[in-house]
Structure 1
């Protein structure tokens, strides 16, 4: 068939459009490339100047990790330079960390062989340094490398090694994640009893920590167990629980996965229209993030639905698209599913030659999976042997060192004195730790009392009653819902040392909306944060910003009859979360002149005491900055508060 030819006029128009659009595209891309290169050059110079400074190198490594998205393609070359500097200066701790980070990046790039080698090198150093935490990371990452290649039997021993360390360190957060991973791995192996055991253990730990993200993953995996057991109705119950949690977390990638799993459940129920709608929602999000592995699965099922409907042309279109995507990401498991559907399609088309070829290719892929599995098992046995050999050498070395230390002791008298001194120091530290804990608990109770005081509760109940008297049930229900969510958040957060930043933001939203409805929307508010702020993963102390929001309402916009404005902006600054709270009230200077000590916020006093305790661990944490905007020609008050990133 001849290709259509462009006329002269169309060709001219096309060329003109290219000339117009290309400079715009280039101009847009160039600043990002220049910015990435500038960051690379700046950090490279820091590396050259501080390569021999162990403490400074730790800070530089943290900076590289935090700026990895802005560095773009310069991230791995910069990390490679860092590794070479560490080797040249025998900086083993930073070398250990950087090798692990490089392994992670190689795994994200689906370069599994090099990823395994980086994690293995990091583990060797961790064993030498006897760094239990890093050994835990390495074992988990080595297991993930195998898991991403669908080599589950090789992944499991690494996960169990990580779990053993986490249980010994009483790291419930890490153990919850590892139980979740083991549940997913056993699910892939169709060992459902073991999968349910680990997912239940993970869910219990996540529930105790109010970890909604892990709970959503666990519900999704339990749903997949029911899906594989051909129990779609039970599966949909768990998928719905997972979807609700992911919506609360605004985790759209996770929502997309849940949508396509629910689509598979409805496919099993032969409710094809519902399945098509859910796959459509999933595809929309997967295309945004270019996750071809999941897109391939969605299109494969869309093709299978078309087969069920006997729409053979649509089925072929969807299956071919799914096949191309699966080949791009080298997913042999999905190619087998797609080829089995293509075999069925060829039979329906009476194309027996294609049916034979597809079936033959499917058998070859199954053989290649088994061959790869055997090769990896041999590699795994060798690695396990080398690792155990290294661990045994460490034990022997430790025994030799103990003998040498015994010979160097000066006598029982010196040992006795040292033990007494050590016991005294431990006793003092224990007393200080207990006092600090008691002080924290006291401040938590005071903060809870200040937030949930009778005046606030009676005002809230009065507002609900007022809406009911006005015959506004929707407003009353909304107010009551916000009040219930705020109460639950405050009670949960008052017992936690740290919460996810996204949960803190949700609590502040509920509080602002509650106060906004109580004063009949006499003010508006806004909360925003920078795009690269990972609010789901960053942990901060709870309820540190609420006193300043409260002051902005009660001492700022309260004096305005209308058009009050309160804004909260969050961004990362010098490894802290910088929160800027603004209002357009009368200003802090005027407020101080018209108020007295009796009006001083109890919550603000508790904030100052909490910050004093936090500064014991983080002495460089900047103090809050309060500015009357009238001093610079504006209106209202601006407060800048720095929150420590705890995890």
Structure 2
């Protein structure tokens, strides 16, 4: 979820600001209209703060510069200024300086995807600004906190978004109100379901009101893109709403989105509007118009000064979908080539960004450790200074105690110096261990991910599937071939997408398993039946690691059901039940195949073991570090040795 940072402080929000702070605020306000002038004014304010040796003003100037460089995507400058704001705030007891520095550090941590630390800093800033009655900043920080909770607790998402709107209404500032209403609208949009008309209507009415308020005060709103976001979200609500959709309302809001994006030169909003129009016409079956729109989106993206490989991959994926529906296989092949190219670039960028953020997190932790060490040294110096004053007073009382006092003083200094040196050595060792553990953990994760990508599907399964498709085409069974190809392409895309995510929902896992077993049934001439059962109390929205179950289903089909004689129909059952108190999802896979003993006998001279199964064992071993109950059990299905049962205990992702 994107976190928007917009600061427009009224003078009464946190008391009367100093002239230097006012100057920095005015410079920051120019970031959308003139970036160079904005940075120059903020640097001038910082120079004045340094000349006056004012730690509070320096901390606030550093915080503004950090947030400006975040918008410019300058990670090094962003990190440097955020750390500087934190260091300067540590030199003063000013709550305002500490609030600004915590806000800058929270923004940095969210940018490098260290969400746990980001929440710590933002909650600290939220508390400090609330005490200072800086309601404008509370509204914005509350909104950003709700976005950080989006993948976790929905209750906290609603809590902080509603609080942000309450603070924004107290300020009466249009910029703050729009920012907070978008946060509330975000969770309403996530909750709106087409089959729940009341909830869907509530979300629509909320966005309509948001747009009316934004248009009324458009001149006072600096971040014009937020107005475009409101129109885009409302158009999405109509397109995904109850069927038949209100096409007039959808097209009206889409046209307003395009008009606003052109009026304020909002490139991302305009690009989103092209994609929405393409999806709309594709749903209506007007493939020619949809295809032209997706091509227009690709051409427009390529004219922009920056590349967005993820958007280009999405456009080409939509073009592939259209070609498949039109049975235009040559176009499908061409679009798939471009999709594969940009999807690879997207993945490479994601891997590089992950490495960059890991390095940034390490450097930030190193900087924090150094700051703490300096603070300890400062405290020691102050204590030594006080001790010196005490000794001087004692010396004035009489020369009798001079030698004794001098002896203990030297001994005290020596002990403190030894302790300080030992602490420095410990900190250096801790930093080395942290760096080693970080790099080893990242290397292990990337190695396992590469191996997982290489074992996503059994090559024999792929070759057999393609052979079946070729056979159907030679037999001129075009409809069946197209259906098979569509299912095969969908399964391939699902496996590739899920292998690059940390977690997927149980519903997505069930959909992938269903598609996989349908292809296996077609390949094996419908020689077996399958059932997928999910207990009523099990929430299909819960999140689990991807690609854990499929290798065991594949083993059941290949080594249990496939060898059955034609006279004996096969049966495969997959049952899901949740043990929420243990944070586990229990998956039971049962087949009526030839059994473990017979399968091992037939494979007595075959030393091959499935690569996917080995990697799954390794992944479960890694998961046991966080949840010791994660494991897999395999045993015979019946006392006579026929059939097989596999019980997987999978950790539920928070």
State the TM bucket, normalised to the shorter chain: 0.3 to 0.5
Q: What TM-score comes out, normalization by structure 2 length?
A: 0.44
Specify which structure has the higher proportion of helix. Answer: 1
